[in-house]
Structure 1
Amino acid sequence: MQQRTLSQPISATGVGLHSGERVLLVMKPAAPDAGITFRRTDLPEPVDVKVQPSLVNDTRLSSTLVTDTGVRVGTIEHLMSAIAGLGLDNLLIEVGAAEIPIMDGSAAPFIYLLQSAGIVDQTVPKRFIRILKPIEVVEGDKWVRLEPHDGFKVTLSIEFNHPAFNQAPQTVAIDFAHHSYIEEISRARTFGFMHEVEYMHSHGLGLGGSLDNAIVIDDEYVLNPEGLRFPDEFVRHKILDAIGDLYVIGHPLIGAFSGHKSGHAMNNKLLRVLLAVPDAWEYVSFTDPTQVPSSFHRLPDVG
């Protein structure tokens, strides 16, 4: 299985969730083994920020890369999730602000853009990270875990004592050997409570948020007129986030991820713990396509 990039550049304009400003995003092909790099083009001198777990230094409301000189690229998780879902390895992403546009609050618009640009195989084998032994992070009643598994699957549970959440299961398991990321996960939107929106606005955050790019919940109901895209859209979005957070490691994982009440901070901490235990993982590539775990056979075809 080969590494992948785009066949041509593609651009889009959207609103930053927290700044409320218009943001230009340009995604371009990159060379084999280049990985995913964000380039801040709005600064006096453009600055490249290579995606890696050690640079996720702000996880209060999203996954935000922060360099040692203070250059930020925020709200990367939905775009990173789309990149992972399409099996892309190498991209240069130019962004004209300190955060990625929120689009509709899911990964689906990014999937559309990336597929519209076209995806091509490169001449170098794709490098996977295979989990060799369990790694876990526990904080009170919250936990995340990576375990060996010949493929990729995600099991997540959330816990909200609220009427809008109690109408559907708060645990979802997706085995990508049998389920499609695009169909089952990519359309699930971010969500928040009305009182949180009011709090963020009072602190100059969430200024770009609206019912067009998030599910908003009051004391009893979902306020979006169209309702939910899935009965369990809330936990499916947490899976979307987790896939994006995990792909910050720069390679697809061969393993099983599970968690309860997890978030960006714990997902990133799990990656850092994994990398600190050298015998818990290994790099693998496959020259024989029949040896590739079936989870990765479902990646959309190149064209």
Structure 2
Amino acid sequence: MKQRTIAKKVENIGIGLHKGEPVKLVLEPALANTGIVFYRSDIDASFVAKALNIKNTQLATVLGDLESGRFISTIEHLMSAISAYGIDNIKISVDANEVPIMDGSALSFCMMLDEAGISELDEPKQVLVVKKEVIIKDGAKMVALRPSTSPKFSFSIDFARSAAIGKQSFSFEFSKKTYLEHIARARTFGFLDDVKKLNAMGLALGGSLDNAIVIDGDKILNPDGLRYENEFVRHKILDAIGDLNVFGAQILGDYEAIAGSHELNHKLSLELLSDASNYELVSLKSQESKELSRVFA
């Protein structure tokens, strides 16, 4: 099975979640073994999407250094779509410090990837195979990776704060087809009072009912309601898939979370990499390709 990139350059413009300003997004093909590379055209700086380059996870997944201003934020939804499409190498350019939020899900990015098409490269695909269970706990919160040849993502949340969310659980077997059916359209969400606080801090200025589910007490403010009955937990899985796409190779293993977060996902990635016996980097040859093709098709 070969490495993949996109077949042609595609562009789009969307609103940045935090600044609330238009951001131009350009996706371009990349050579084999390049990896996923973000480029900020406004400051001529590149950022390779790897676990060690993630420096902040408070409001989003952030590559680079916030203090110096050399960073790019809110990469997780695009990274999630890239993972689902099995893309190994791509150049992503923006003219601001964040990836546009689009509609708050991965759907717009999937549409861009569909428009760009997929191109196979003349190098074997690399897969990071989870060999041992790795767990991160923080009180009642937990995230884990376990060995599996049919990777699943399972997530549970409990928002006692609002009956609009409450307790939700969801699990799905990972493939491009199931991702598009069950995960890609799930939007990010937030509480109205939290949004107001962030706005006062100069953050989330681009947030609106067009790109997020907004909750006020026990009410969902979006006129059209939800896309899935349990859209909230499905979006958490969408985030997790993006957060784990930071190894320079696609990951093969089961993921489970109880009240997981960007921060815990990042800690999980670092813990996995901290011990070489936790994983194996496999170059897919013909026989392995047949067995795993349905996962990374």
Q: Give the TM-score normalised by the residue count of structure 2.
A: 0.95
Q: How does 1:273-288 map to 2 (within 5 A)?
A: 273-288=271-286
Letter in 2 for 1:82: A
Equivalences, count: 295
Equivalent in the alignment of 1:129? 128
Q: Distance in 2 between matches of 1:58 and 1:181?
A: 26
Between 245-254 and 187-196, the greater mean CA deviation after superposition: 245-254
Q: Which residue of 1 aligns with 2:266?
A: 268
Q: Equivalent residues in 2 for 1:220-259 (5 A)? A: 220-259=218-257
Equivalent position of 1:165 in the other structure: 165
- 1:54 maps to 52
Q: State the alpha-carbon separation in 1 of the partners of residues 259 and 217 from structure 2.
A: 20
- 2:246 aligns to what SS in structure 1? helix
Is the contact made by 1:180 and 1:298 (CA closer than 8 Å) also made in structure 2? no
- Identity across aligned pairs (percent)? 42
Q: 2:184 aligns with which of 183, 186, 190?
A: 186
* 2:103 matched residue in structure 1: 104
Instruction: Indicate if the aligned counterparts of 1:177 and 1:298 stay in contact, CA closer than 8 A.
Output: yes
Map of 1:64-79 to 2, 5 A cutoff? 64-67=62-65, 70-79=69-78
Q: CA deviation at 1:38?
A: 0.5
Q: What letter corresponds to residue 30 of structure 2 in structure 1? A: A
2:92 alignment counterpart: 93
Gap regions ≥5 residues in structure 2? none
Q: Structure 2: how far apart are the matches of 1:69 and 1:206?
A: 20
Deviation at 1:285, TM superposition (A): 2.3
What is the CA distance between 1:163 and its match in structure 2?
A: 1.4
In the alignment, is the contact (CA less than 8 A) between 2:78 and 2:106 conserved in 1?
Answer: yes
Tell me by how many angstroms 1:175 deviates: 1.1
State the shift of 1:176 in Å.
Answer: 2.1
What is the distance in 2 between the residues matched to 1:108 and 1:177? 15
CA RMSD of aligned residues (A): 1.6
Match of 1:83 in 2: 82
Matched, 1:297 2:294: yes
CA distance in 2, matches of 1:11, 1:21: 17
TM-score by length of 1: 0.94
Unaligned runs of 5+ in 1: none
1:200·1:206 contact (CA, 8 Å) conserved in 2? Answer: yes
Q: Deviations over 1:222-269 (max 9, x none)?
A: 110010000000000000000000002222111101111110011011
Matched, 1:21 2:21: yes
Q: For 1:170 and 1:82, locate their aligned partners in 2 and report how far apart those are by CA, in whole Å.
A: 23
Q: Kindly provide the amino acid, as one letter, of the partner of residue 294 in structure 2.
A: H
Query: 1:148: which partner in 2?
Result: 147
Query: Distance between the aligned counterparts of 1:187 and 1:289, measured in 2?
Result: 34
For 2:175 and 2:19, the matched residues in 1 are separated by 38
Letter in 1 for 2:119: V
Distance 1:271 1:230, change over 3 A: same
- The whole-number CA distance in structure 2 between the counterparts of 1:292 and 1:156 is 29
C-alpha deviation, 1:194, in angstroms: 0.6
User: Letter of the aligned partner of 1:17 in structure 2?
Assistant: L
Q: Is the 8 A contact 1:11 1:25 kept in 2?
A: yes
Paired AA for residue 20 in structure 1: G
1:201 aligned partner, one-letter code: N
Q: Distance in 2 between matches of 1:80 and 1:278?
A: 24
How far 1:70 moved relative to its partner? 4.5
Counterpart Cα distance in 2 of 1:50 and 1:19: 23
In structure 1, how many angstroms separate the alpha carbons of the residues matched to 2:272 and 2:296? 25
Contact 2:25 2:99 in 1 (8 A): yes
1:55-84 residue CA offsets vs partner (Å, 9 max, x unmatched) = 111111100111495411000000000000
Between the aligned partners of 1:201 and 1:290, the Cα distance in structure 2 is: 50
CA apart distance, 1:114: 1.0
Matches within 5 A, 1:196-211: 196-211=194-209
Aligned equivalents of 2:85, 2:246: Cα separation in 1: 15
Q: 2:295 and 2:244 mapped to 1: Cα distance? A: 19
Q: Which has the higher strand share?
A: 2
The question of 1:2 aligning with 2:2 is answered: yes
